[in-house]
Amino acid sequence: MPVFHFNISDGALEPDLRGTELPDLQTARREAIRLLGEVLRDNADVFWREGRLTLTVTDAKGLALVALETFSVEASSVRGPTRENS
Amino acid sequence: MLERLVEKLARRDALSASDRAALLALPRTESRVRKGEVLVEEGDRVSESTLLIDGLSARFKTFGDGRRQLLALHIAGDFVDLHSFLLKVMDHGVTALTDCRIVTTPHAALRRLTEDRPHLTRLLWLNTLLDAAILREWIAGLGRRPALGRAAHLICELAVRNEVVGLGSKRGFGLPLTQAELGDALGLSTVHVNRVVQQLRDGLIAWEGGRLTILDWDALVALGEFDPAYLYLEPEPR
């Protein structure tokens, strides 16, 4: 079975050194979404600090196959110094 | 063969010599099951209960798309489906995760024990309650523990359970599971388990050839927020 590597980068690079054997890319896509959801669920504060999380699925040679991008968007009223309501 | 079950019960309460002998004398049939075999299917009506003598088995439920959740892991000495004695019909399946040796004992024999021996009956009842306490801890973990903590907690739990029956310790125990099976127990995708295991291998555990070695017990306990109270390790008159 082919080996797929699931690399997460959220500011700190977390390479998947060992990879996982999966039957095909279809399965890898499914696993990637599940992994993304599970990692986001467990790391809310880390995500908001960085504002971005990328999950890249590569083959055994390191060739990127599919990637998932998660990024936050902030309204200008939210960004910058907070204003006191009078 | 039933010595480990006796050890497991005796840890929680003193057994009289007579009750001990009665347990060890339960009529039983020993057999072997191969890794991957399903011992009991969800929906089966059963007339005997299964005790695990050797190997690793699991309770499970499957879903329409083939996904599986493991609901309990059994080690030697665990009375895999004692509760079927009273429930009669299985609401879950049981599968062998490794080659296993099991004994089955007819429900009629268990009923005779309950008619003559009230303290032993309470201890058998306790055995099912211990399963339930572990299940509650698992549910809490599935609900709220982050991935790394779930894995750490399970490893701590299995270390303690193996220690009770003399099969392992806080230094390590046998864990011949695949990462997919670990994922089925922890409610995590296989790939996430792979990640978590890589993180744990960084100083906390070694896991090779089915053997899990614990390198830093205290760190594992902290990571898993593990408190063995739910395993009821102290004897008390029951």
| B189, B194, B198: residue with CB nearest A34 | B189
DSSP state string for B117-171: -HHHHHHHHHHHHHHHHHHHHHHHHHHH--HHHHHHHHHHHHHHHHHHTTS-BTT
Closest residue by Cα to residue B33 from B14, B19, B50: B50
Contact flag A38-B194 (C-beta cutoff 8 Å) = no
* Average pLDDT for B202-231: 97
In whole angstroms, give the CA distance from residue A77 to residue A75: 5
Look at B212 and A11; give whichever has higher pLDDT: B212
Cross-chain Cβ contact A35/B192 below 8 Å: yes
- When comparing pLDDT for B175 and B66, which is higher? B175
Which chain A residues contact residue B191 at CB under 8 A?
4, 6, 20, 22, 31-32, 34-35
pLDDT of residue B130 exceeding 90: yes
**How far are the Cα atoms of B21, B22, B54, B85, B235 from residue B117, in angstroms, in the given order?**
12, 9, 27, 16, 19
Which pairs with CB-CB distance under 8 Å and at least 24 residues apart come from A53-57?
Answer: A53/A8, A53/A9, A53/A10, A54/A8, A54/A9, A54/A10, A55/A6, A55/A7, A55/A8, A56/A6, A56/A7, A56/A9, A57/A4, A57/A5, A57/A6, A57/A7, A57/A28, A57/A29, A57/A32
User: Complex ipTM, two decimals?
Assistant: 0.84
Dump the DSSP string for A14-69.
E--SS-EE-S-HHHHHHHHHHHHHHHHHH-HHHHHHHSEEEEEEEETT--EEEEEE
| A9 pLDDT tier (thresholds 50, 70, 90) | confident
pTM: 0.92
Instruction: Look up residue B80 and give its DSSP letter.
Output: T
C-alpha to C-alpha distances, A67 to A11, A16, A48, B157, nearest whole angstrom: 16, 14, 20, 36
Residues B134-140 have a mean pLDDT of 97
Q: What is the pLDDT of residue A85?
A: 47
User: Mutate which of B69, B142, B191, B207 to test chain A, going by most A C-beta atoms within 10 A?
Assistant: B191
Q: Is the pLDDT of residue A86 over 70?
A: no
* 3-state class (DSSP) for residue B49: strand
Q: Which two structure tokens, joined as six digits, stand for B143?
A: 């609900």
**Sequence-ordered list of residues with C-beta below 8 angstroms from that of B193, at least 6 positions apart, any chain:** B151, B179, B180, B182, B183, B186
Average pLDDT, stretch B180-209? Answer: 95
- Cα–Cα distance for residue pair B209/B166, rounded to 1 Å: 20
* Cα nearest neighbour of A20 on chain B: B191
The answer to whether A78 faces chain B, any CB pair under 8 Å, is: no
How close are the terminal C-alpha atoms of chain B, in Å? Answer: 25
Rg (CA), chain A: 17
Instruction: Compute the average pLDDT of residues B131-145.
Output: 96
Mean pLDDT for A50-67 is: 94
Residue A11 has pLDDT above 70, yes or no: no
> What does residue A79 show for φ and ψ, rounded to 5 degrees?
-70, 155
Q: Which residue of A has its CA nearest to B201?
A: A18
pLDDT score recorded for residue A50: 85
Per-residue pLDDT tens over the stretch B14-45: 999 999 999 999 999 999 999 999 999 999 99
Instruction: Give how far A82 is from chain B: nearest CA, Å.
Output: 32
Distance CA B56, CA B54 (A): 7
Helix (H, G, I), strand (E, B) or coil at A13: strand
What share of chain B has pLDDT > 70, as a percent?
100
C-beta of residue B107 within 8 angstroms of C-beta of residue B222: no
Q: Any idea which of A3-17, B132-146, B209-223 has the lowest mean pLDDT?
A: A3-17
Which of B142, B179, B182, B189 should one mutate to test binding to chain A, selecting the residue with the greatest count of A CBs within 10 A? B189
Please report which confidence band the pLDDT of residue A70 belongs to, taking 50, 70 and 90 as the band edges. very high
| Dihedral in degrees, nearest 10, Cα atoms A19, A20, A21, A22 | -120
Tokens of B136: 């509650």
- For residues B230 and B24, give the distance between their C-alpha atoms in angstroms, rounded to a whole number: 27
Measured over the CA atoms of residue B178, residue B180, residue B186 and residue B188, the dihedral's sign is positive
What is the predicted pLDDT for the residue at A15? 85
Per-residue pLDDT, averaged over A29-42, amounts to 94
Query: Residue A82: what pLDDT?
Result: 52
Nearest to B195 among A16, A22, A43 (CB): A16
Q: Hey, which residues 15-74 in chain A have their CB within 8 Å of chain B?
A: 16-20, 22, 31-32, 34-35, 38-39, 41-43
Q: What confidence tens digit (pLDDT) does each residue in B70-123 have?
A: 999 999 999 999 999 999 999 999 999 999 999 999 999 999 999 999 999 999
CA–CA separation, B60 and B91 (whole Å): 9
**pLDDT grade, residue B147 (50/70/90)?**
very high
Residues of A in contact with B190 (CB under 8 A): 20, 22, 31
Comparing A12-16, A18-22, B75-79, B160-164, which segment has the lowest mean pLDDT? Answer: A12-16
Is B147 in Cβ contact with A35 (below 8 Å)? no
Average pLDDT, chain B: 95
Q: How far is A85 from chain B (nearest CA, A)?
A: 36
Does the pLDDT at position A84 exceed 70?
no
Give the model's pLDDT for residue B66.
Answer: 84
